[in-house]
Structure 1
Amino acid sequence: STPSEMSFYHAAHRPEAVRNAILLHIGYVPIYILALLARKNAFIRISYKNTIIFSGVVQCLVSLPYTLFNSWFALFVSEEIETSELSCTLTRMGLSVLNYCAYNALTAVSVSRVLSVVFDQQCDIRRNLGFFALASFPIIALFLKAIASGTRRENSVCGPLLFFDNKPKPKLQAWNLYIFAIPLIAVVLNAVTACYLIKHRRRRLSSGSRTKRVNELHVALALLLQSLVPAITMSSKGYRSIVAIHGTLAMQSPWWLKKPVDILSFLTTGLNMTISMACIKTFRE
């Protein structure tokens, strides 16, 4: 590397990388359980392939590179390791972008559920993948823009790396707003679906008809609770970044709240999958 392109992985980050890697791997345990249940039970495999199973598989696969990077860092970075500026940017920021994108699986499912339940449109895995790609496109485009036109910035994991200036400029504002808003979209859409099913159920019960959509309602409530986890962990990060640039000290989160949320963010996948499966009787049995 030339001096202008030289970067380093910082050994001081290793203790955090150890913690992060352990939490990320623990977060995959519910997905492994889901895989075993789906393999043994054809009803689970067929009934939930476009919802719970889709969100679990996508979260696992898309976040895996970030998990492996933290595992590598925890195992091998015991001293400063020289790398290139581009490599530092790709591993530190690029893999974080993929990790953010993993939770777009929940947003994709929430869109499909609104279309299928409220508007009676057929949705399958291909449509889910389309919504997932659409939700992920903005932050990937912003990341590529950061590589092309960003400035050299130091970072606690590795640096210098390429990223936007820490100033209230449109591209950085868009980045922080994306992280804040995307998980909330899933919450809103899942709430719309759940409210629609509750209203539909009450209407049928009041007319003396038996409703056959109880399981649909359970799935809707499970997805709603599932989407609340990244809304708490990811959206709070976006909020803090926005406040750090535009806000005042009075608007900032206290340290006793910030630290637990930061730690929980590495368990986001495990928590949202556990909650969703716990809400559906088929998985509990």
Structure 2
Amino acid sequence: MASLPPASSSFGNASFYHAANQSEAIRNAIFLNLGYIPIYFLAICIYKNPPIVRRYKTTIIFAGAVQYLLTLPYTIFNTWLAIYVNHEVETTVFMCTFIRMGTSLLNFISFNALTAISISRVLLIVFKKNCGLAHNLAFFFVACLPILADFVYMFFVSRPTPNAICGPLLFYYELAPLMVWNGYIFGIPLIAVLLNSVTAGYLLYKRYSASAYMKNSHRTVNEIFVATALLLQSVIPALTMSSKGYRSMQEIYGMKTVEWLKELIETSGYMTTGLNMIASMICIKHFRQMFKQIFLRDKSITRVGEVTTVTTM
């Protein structure tokens, strides 16, 4: 079999953003933008009550900030597709690949923040190792390295491939990088679920085997709620991203899937950021109080969060 030409030989070839995708882009852009509402609420909470930064900076706030910053390019891209691409828009294979795959990659690795938090929490809660924001960032970057390397590799060993959004674009023709890509999509979110489950289980064990004082202390109780919030927060990307990885494998290997399941998987993926932030904040009393105070004008809540404390990390 003759060797394929280098990927760089097709960088300047014509590629197109497809108008046929506009209806899906509109749906995706709506869900992506709606997903920021919980993060905007988090920002309002910080503005109204700055001390929560100290309390939640390595957990809920870190997750919200990273997800917002890294999903924003993907949201802007889909919004542009929804508004502007009502006709075939010409670009190059290189730019199509870089923008289409690059924004998708950033969107996915944003959820590595949850994995980084889960590692820090296990070390802090179970192994009593002091972990702060710097540790979160270090764990996050380490978790991102394999998929970033795989993305760069795509520009060296790949071939032009049709794509519904923008194509042709470069994608792997070798099995190994493809397995890394799909394995990463499956595996990384599940690590967060596993580690958060360990932390939550450990806290529950300590609570029900502790003295009556420890069982009822605000710190012990709220740590359990924070652990539960982080567990729920990690479960949602694990479900949506893993299902998208499964869908990707179906397409690659020519497997069939029912249309309603395909639509459900596609739609749920664009709601991940909003859903996981809601799931995390709804478990924590402080944010429920803030919601009542800000939006329901609950006058009975005058000093939010004074008894809602968590371990400062």
TM, length-normalised to structure 2: 0.84
Distance 2:31 2:71 in 1: 13
Segment of structure 1 superposing worse, 2-11 or 23-32? 2-11
Which SS does the other structure have where 1:7 is aligned? strand
Q: Give CA-to-partner distance per residue, 1:108-163, whole Å, 9 cap, x none.
A: 11111101111111111111111111111111111111111111101011111111
Partner of 1:194: 200
CA contact (8 A) 2:10 2:160 kept: no
Partner of 1:132: 140
Which SS does the other structure have where 1:149 is aligned? coil
Q: CA deviation at 1:56?
A: 0.4
1:228-267 equivalences in 2 (<5 Å): 228-243=235-250, 254-267=258-271
Distance 1:160 1:99 in 2: 21
The amino acid that maps onto 2:192 is A
Partner of 1:226: 233
Q: Give CA-to-partner distance per residue, 1:67-110, whole Å, 9 cap, x none.
A: 00111111111111110111000111111011101111111111
Q: 1:64 to 1:4 in 2, by over 3 A?
A: closer
Distance 1:196 1:209 in 2: 18
| Greater Cα radius of gyration, structure 1 or 2 | 2
Partner of 2:276: 272
Which of 76, 81, 84 lines up with 1:76 in the alignment? 84
CA contact (8 A) 2:12 2:92 kept: no
Which SS does the other structure have where 2:235 is aligned? helix
Q: 1:7 to 1:243 in 2, by over 3 A?
A: closer
Q: CA deviation at 1:276?
A: 0.4
Which of 84, 94, 107 lines up with 2:102 in the alignment? 94
1:55-74 equivalences in 2 (<5 Å): 55-74=63-82
Which of 156, 170, 173 lines up with 2:176 in the alignment? 170
TM, length-normalised to structure 1: 0.92
CA contact (8 A) 2:12 2:94 kept: no
Distance 2:99 2:66 in 1: 20
Distance 2:248 2:38 in 1: 30
Distance 1:100 1:195 in 2: 27
Distance 2:52 2:181 in 1: 37
CA contact (8 A) 1:173 1:242 kept: no
Q: CA deviation at 1:184?
A: 0.6
Tell me the percent identity. Answer: 52
Partner of 2:285: 281
Q: CA deviation at 1:45?
A: 1.9
> Would you tell me which structure has more helix in proportion to its own residues?
1
Structure 2, unaligned runs of 5 or more: 1-8, 290-313
The amino acid that maps onto 2:274 is G
Partner of 2:302: none
Distance 2:23 2:148 in 1: 29
Q: 1:153 to 1:200 in 2, by over 3 A?
A: same
Partner of 1:161: 169
CA contact (8 A) 2:247 2:262 kept: no
Q: CA deviation at 1:260?
A: 1.5
